[in-house]
């Protein structure tokens, strides 16, 4: 690998310089991100002299070869759509890639402010994050994990109960099944108040895939890193042998005149090591444990153009993952590990029809199946000594299956000064199954190592019975929105969305949303934005499956307080005589909701340099949390009110959240430097840790409203690329921020609920806070270009990425348990400095 990198570098000395020019390529799309084949695309100089002219291919793609460095204008025309022009700067040895979005003919063009990228369109907020394929290539990217790298721009207060929403070409997916080289663009917080989507902009990630091409082309990426070039983790006794190998690529081309294809895939192998840092009865355990990971991804897309107004595409993907020794690390010993597999197969179909210059219809359908088994390495009873060590068996056996269906049907109509979009959105219609065989051997819980040594657990939990349960989840939404140009310098977007979910009897989830943009004076360098909207959450399958299987009959869960050890019950007693624990929903449970509002101002500082300051307010209500409604009551907390039941976990929608933040976003494109800097200051408070969270004192929740679990009061995010010389193609990613809060606990079951999460008297939830963090990643790359006899170009790129360059120790978890031997100390840290080599061949 190293020798090949050196060979490529040496060969570059013999390569021809870029006097022949570079390529300018891109994709023509409509406002729904669908491609527009057959569009006329021209490349012109500032004097409007046409340099080249082409027609976009079956997948909307175009390419201009051998373009000399300089400033150009790329102009796209297509029947029924408005002609649109985009300025582009071409630098030596730096191919340019752009996406041109054509609005329907009836819509008034966006107002560009001083040619800077500022405009008075209500959707085009500058505090959004948008990264195209070329920028992704230039940035330091660990293992090509583009979603993980950009997820840090999400807002924890905007993320739903089931995590961030991921959309691929407008269709919601459970996980990304698209290889890195097949991604055209990633957007976060674009059009934050659109009625089309269930969650706000900073709670979703929108991914646009690359279309097929009218010429055969391909990309091959090889990435490699080895622990010989790592620093040692702060909690590792010795540096563990680790290695990551990734082969990823894509191939595209035509099939006849009106059909194109895109094939992509990756093979990912990681020989990773988890670090155990635990305190057992035998003393401190500091151990490296192999946790290998394997992943295979295959995907294919076929695009078909039928006439000038009808486009279809079909995509299939297959993902197969295997994880060994999962769950090990921190205070969890190797004996408590489990193996995990996941197979996902998905197929999607998109059909787009332009009925008239003002009417567009698009249908997207996705169907998929998943199978996810987990198997414990040992079936021995699990031993948990809080924040000291976890041993025994994994007790994590299960099989999860899912068959899901997604539908997006949208019609766009554009009368004068309006763009009206309405449709039906089914983000999830799924048949879910779970065979829960976990904890059949039981788990003993101890407050401290001395309690373990004396054989006095505070709780024993075991499941007995049939853990097989199925559930059909149905989520349906309808929406309508109108983007209006009220004045030449004022636009307004208003919409409403209705969401319905099965299981909960809550049928009044109407969510209105509105946003505006105003450019004072029309040609000024300032845009003022504002918006507000109501967003409903999704209950998800997890809580429903809990309530269905833990009904006290099907799968019986027993919580025994102050049990014996190593046998939980005294001789002669059986679990059948013990009260079973259940999970249920409160009778008045509704779907959680949030109101988000924002106001901001954007200013052009100079050409291609802007700053945006946005204040964002979020208020959540009817949020999920759980409570043991059969907990022993005060003041003695001695016995449960209903002796025929154990823990009665009741899921209710009674929690609240309030968040207020200010985002400052700076962007610049100066010569060959492209940079985005975003600083956020926020306060985020709530009285829940999620649907599975339960308070220590189930009869007094007054101490639970505090800083939210994910709150970081100050966060600075930066990414930049610079092509400032033949050997200086650099990428930078930097993030820093304040620490997250965590709770101070006694480590004792002071309320006799079977859970040792009590806090000292008068201490609220999340009263402690961890230290801040900082991370600097760098990338250097160098291109070597070769020209074929047919004029086609092949580019070889050698790159070196360094992550956590300064090797700063960023602690991951601090212990707030007073009974732990690690109280007040960290027990894990994020990765130390790592170096990654990459090779890319593109033609």
pLDDT tens, 732-767? 999 999 999 999 999 999 999 999 999 999 999 999
Q: Which residue has the higher pLDDT, 171 or 607?
A: 171
Question: Using 50, 70 and 90 to split pLDDT, how confident is the model at 191?
Answer: confident
What are the φ and ψ backbone dihedral angles of 645, each rounded to 5 degrees?
A: -125, 150
Q: pLDDT digit string (tens) for 318-370?
A: 999 999 999 999 999 999 999 999 999 999 999 988 888 788 899 999 999 99
Mean pLDDT of 216-226: 93
CB atoms within 10 A of CB 166: 17
pLDDT higher than 90, residue 123:
no
Strands 217-226 and 243-254, how do they pair? antiparallel
Mean pLDDT of 171-188: 85
Question: Using 50, 70 and 90 to split pLDDT, how confident is the model at 7?
Answer: very low
Q: How far apart are CA 223 and CA 339, in angstroms?
A: 26
- What is the Cβ-side half-sphere exposure of residue 462, based on CA atoms within 13 angstroms? 22
- Residue whose C-alpha is closest to residue 217's, from 159, 262, 281, 283: 262
CATH number of 217-728+740-842: 2.40.170.20
What percent of the chain has pLDDT above 90? 60
What is the predicted pLDDT for the residue at 17? Answer: 37
Q: How far apart are CA 439 and CA 268, in angstroms?
A: 32
Mean pLDDT of 445-462: 97
What is the predicted pLDDT for the residue at 735? Answer: 95
Q: How far apart are CA 723 and CA 745, in angstroms?
A: 52
Using DSSP's 3-state secondary structure scheme, residue 48 falls into coil
- Lowest average pLDDT, out of 109-113, 473-477, 666-670, goes to 109-113
| Structure tokens that stand for 750 in this block | 């002071």
Domain limits, the chain: 217-728+740-842
Q: How many residues does the chain have?
A: 843
The residues facing 104 across adjacent strands are 81
Strands 217-226 and 834-842, how do they pair? antiparallel
What is the predicted pLDDT for the residue at 380? Answer: 96
Question: Using 50, 70 and 90 to split pLDDT, how confident is the model at 107?
Answer: very low
Residue 132 CA from chain centroid, whole number: 17
Residues 6+ apart with CB under 8 A from 740: 709, 710, 711, 712, 769, 770
Q: How far apart are CA 475 and CA 534, in angstroms?
A: 17
What percent of the chain has pLDDT above 70? 92
- Lowest average pLDDT, out of 15-24, 400-409, 797-806, goes to 15-24
pLDDT higher than 50, residue 832:
yes
pLDDT higher than 70, residue 313:
yes
Task: Look up the pTM and report it.
Answer: 0.85
CA dihedral for 189, 190, 192, 194, sign (positive or negative): negative
Q: How far apart are CA 220 and CA 243, in angstroms?
A: 20
Nearest-5° angle of CA 640, CA 643, CA 644? Answer: 135
Is the CB of residue 456 less than 8 Å from the CB of residue 487? no
What is the predicted pLDDT for the residue at 3? Answer: 39
- Residue whose C-alpha is closest to residue 727's, from 783, 786, 671, 795: 783
Is the CB of residue 77 less than 8 Å from the CB of residue 91? no
What is the predicted pLDDT for the residue at 19? Answer: 41
pLDDT higher than 80, residue 567:
yes
Q: How far apart are CA 837 and CA 841, in angstroms?
A: 14
Q: Between the CA of residue 479 and those of 366, 421, 504, what are the distances in Å?
A: 19, 8, 21
Residue 142 CA from chain centroid, whole number: 15
Q: How far apart are CA 191 and CA 206, in angstroms?
A: 11
What is the predicted pLDDT for the residue at 47? Answer: 53
Residue 576 burial (10 A CB sphere; 0-12, 13-18, 19+): exposed
- Residue whose C-alpha is closest to residue 793's, from 14, 11, 23: 23
């Amino acid at each position: 690998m190293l020798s090949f990198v050196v060979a490529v570098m040496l060969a570059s000395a013999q390569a021809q310089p870029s006097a022949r020019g570079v390529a300018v390529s891109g994709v023509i799309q409509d406002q729904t991100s669908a491609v527009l084949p057959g569009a006329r695309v021209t490349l012109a100089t500032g004097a409007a002299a046409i340099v080249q002219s082409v027609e976009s291919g079956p997948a909307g793609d175009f390419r201009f070869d051998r373009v000399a460095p300089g400033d150009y204008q790329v102009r796209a025309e297509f029947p029924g759509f408005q002609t649109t022009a985009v300025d582009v700067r071409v630098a030596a040895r730096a191919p340019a890639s752009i996406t041109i979005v054509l609005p329907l003919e009836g819509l008034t063009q966006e107002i560009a402010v001083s040619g800077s990228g500022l405009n008075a369109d209500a959707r085009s907020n500058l505090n959004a994050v948008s990264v195209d394929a070329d920028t992704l290539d230039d940035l330091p990217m660990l293992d090509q994990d583009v979603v993980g790298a950009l997820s840090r721009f999400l807002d924890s207060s905007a993320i739903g109960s089931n995590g961030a929403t991921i959309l691929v070409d407008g269709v919601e997916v459970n996980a990304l099944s698209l290889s890195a080289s097949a991604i055209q663009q990633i957007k976060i917080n674009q059009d934050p108040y659109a009625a089309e989507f269930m969650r706000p902009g900073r709670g979703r990630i929108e991914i646009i895939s690359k279309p097929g091409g009218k010429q055969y082309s391909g990309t091959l990426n090889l990435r490699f890193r080895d622990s010989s070039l790592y620093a040692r983790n702060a909690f590792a006794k010795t540096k563990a042998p680790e290695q990551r190998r990734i082969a990823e690529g894509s191939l595209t081309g035509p099939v006849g005149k009106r059909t194109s294809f895109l094939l992509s895939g990756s093979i990912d192998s990681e020989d990773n090591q988890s670090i155990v840092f635990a305190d057992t009865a035998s003393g401190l355990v500091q151990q490296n444990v192999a946790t290998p990971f394997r992943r295979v991804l295959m995907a294919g897309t076929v695009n078909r153009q039928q006439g000038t107004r009808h486009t279809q595409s079909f995509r299939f993907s297959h993902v197969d993952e295997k994880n060994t020794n999962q769950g090990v690390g921190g205070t969890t010993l190797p004996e408590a590990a489990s193996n995990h597999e996941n197979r996902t197969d998905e197929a999607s179909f998109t059909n787009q029809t332009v009925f008239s210059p003002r009417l567009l219809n698009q249908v997207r359908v996705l169907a998929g199946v998943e199978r996810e088994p987990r198997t414990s390495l040992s079936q021995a009873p699990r031993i948990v000594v809080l924040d000291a060590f976890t041993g025994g068996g994994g007790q994590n056996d299960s099989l999860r299956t899912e068959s899901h269906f997604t539908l997006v049907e949208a019609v766009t109509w554009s009368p004068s000064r309006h763009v009206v979009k309405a449709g039906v959105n089914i983000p999830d219609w799924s048949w879910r199954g779970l065979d829960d065989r976990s904890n059949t051997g039981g788990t003993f819980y101890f407050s401290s190592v001395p309690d373990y040594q004396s054989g006095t657990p505070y709780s024993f939990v075991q499941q007995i019975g049939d853990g097989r349960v199925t559930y059909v989840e149905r989520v349906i939404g309808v929406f309508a929105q109108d983007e209006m140009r009220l004045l030449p310098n004022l636009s307004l977007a208003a919409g409403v969305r209705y969401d319905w979910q099965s299981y909960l009897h809550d049928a009044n989830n109407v969510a209105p949303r509105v946003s505006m943009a105003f450019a004072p004076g029309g040609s000024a360098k300032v845009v003022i934005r504002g918006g507000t909207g109501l967003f409903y959450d999704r209950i998800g399958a997890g809580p429903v499956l809990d309530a269905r299987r833990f009904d006290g009959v099907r799968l019986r869960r027993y919580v025994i307080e102050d049990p014996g050890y190593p046998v939980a019950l005294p001789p002669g007693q059986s679990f059948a005589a013990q009260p079973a624990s259940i999970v249920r929903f409160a009778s008045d449970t509704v779907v959680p909701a949030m109101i988000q509002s924002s106001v901001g101002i954007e200013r052009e500082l100079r050409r291609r340099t802007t700053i945006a300051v946005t204040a964002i307010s979020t208020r959540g209500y009817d949020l999920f949390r759980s409570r043991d409604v059969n907990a022993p009551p005060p003041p003695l907390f001695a016995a449960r009110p209903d002796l025929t039941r154990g823990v009665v976990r009741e899921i209710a929608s009674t929690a609240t959240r309030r968040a207020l933040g200010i985002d400052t976003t700076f962007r610049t494109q100066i010569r060959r430097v492209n940079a985005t800097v975003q600083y956020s200051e926020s306060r985020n408070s709530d009285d829940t840790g999620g649907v599975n969270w339960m308070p220590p004192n189930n009869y007094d929740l007054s101490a639970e409203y505090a800083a939210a679990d994910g709150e970081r009061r100050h966060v600075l995010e930066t990414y930049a690329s610079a092509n400032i010389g033949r050997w200086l193609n650099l990428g930078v990613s930097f993030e820093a921020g304040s620490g997250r809060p965590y709770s101070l606990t006694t480590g004792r079951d002071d309320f006799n609920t079977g859970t040792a999460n009590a806090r000292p008297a008068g201490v609220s939830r999340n009263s402690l806070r961890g230290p801040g963090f900082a991370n600097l990643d760098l990338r250097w790359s160098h291109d070597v270009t070769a020209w074929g006899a047919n004029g086609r170009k092949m580019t070889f790129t050698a790159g070196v990425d360094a992550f956590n360059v300064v090797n700063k120790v960023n602690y991951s978890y601090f212990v707030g348990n007073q009974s732990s031997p690690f109280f007040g100390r960290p027990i894990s840290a994020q990765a130390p400095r790592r170096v990654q080599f990459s090779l890319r061949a593109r033609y």
